[in-house]
Amino acid sequence: MFMKPIENPSIVAKEKIEYLQSGKQTEITPKIKEIVSSFGNETLSEKTFQIIDFVKSLKYETKNKDDVFRKRTADRIISDGYVTGCTDENLVFEALARASGIPTKYIETIDIEFLRKKSGEQGSYSGHVYSGILEGDKNWSIVDVTKRKIGANIENDNRIFFKEGKDSWDIGITDFDTLKKEFDKFRENYK
């Protein structure tokens, strides 16, 4: 699985560099740099919780969710002052973490219950977004920003790994329609 220690040092170096870089939704803007400058120089764990605390300080709002689902950047989410769920929370977390020098991955998962249903069967498209942070030189830990937890376990949450990248747009999900298309395609091949 994705979070096991990485044995090849060249892969670590490549991933470390790659996941410190901005994605299209997680651009490190002047606003993001300003927020990060207010954080202290604590341990990785303490800094991670500072970032989570900032994310959790944003208002949770669902009334415009369909209009903004997967369409905003981290900077825009912060400017708007609200998140609509786990995707928004993780986009902000990832931009702030990378700006703080923490290599961070966007991790999309799908609920196993959704995958067990036949295509067209009633039920909503369901999954969860996590972040992966590089601890030391070869261990990725899963962060569940929603639950304020470092070291989350995707399988224990009854989910399956779908894709990872820099952000939602990087893995090809730009709105609810593309999410449905990608999840349906994955479900067709899921055994």
Q: What is the pLDDT of residues 69-121, one digit of tens each?
A: 999 999 999 999 999 999 999 999 999 999 999 999 999 999 999 998 876 66
Q: What backbone torsions phi and psi does residue 6 show, to the nearest 5 degrees?
A: -95, 125
- Rounded to whole angstroms, the Cα distance separating 70 from 37 reads 27
User: In the chain, what are the domain boundaries?
Assistant: 9-189
- Rounded to whole angstroms, the Cα distance separating 96 from 23 reads 12
pLDDT at 6: 46
Q: Which residue, 180, 160, 184, is CA-closest to 111?
A: 160
Task: Indicate whether 5 pLDDT > 60.
Answer: no
Task: Indicate whether 64 pLDDT > 50.
Answer: yes
- Rounded to whole angstroms, the Cα distance separating 166 from 23 reads 5
pTM value is 0.91
29-33, 40-44, 80-84, 183-187: the lowest-pLDDT one: 40-44
Q: Which CATH number fits domain 9-189: 3.10.620.30, 3.10.450.50, 1.10.357.10, 3.40.50.170?
A: 3.10.620.30
Share of the chain above pLDDT 70, in %: 90
Q: β-pairing, 82-83 with 104-111?
A: unpaired
What mean pLDDT do residues 150-155 have? 91
Q: β-pairing, 82-83 with 59-60?
A: parallel
- Rounded to whole angstroms, the Cα distance separating 152 from 11 reads 23
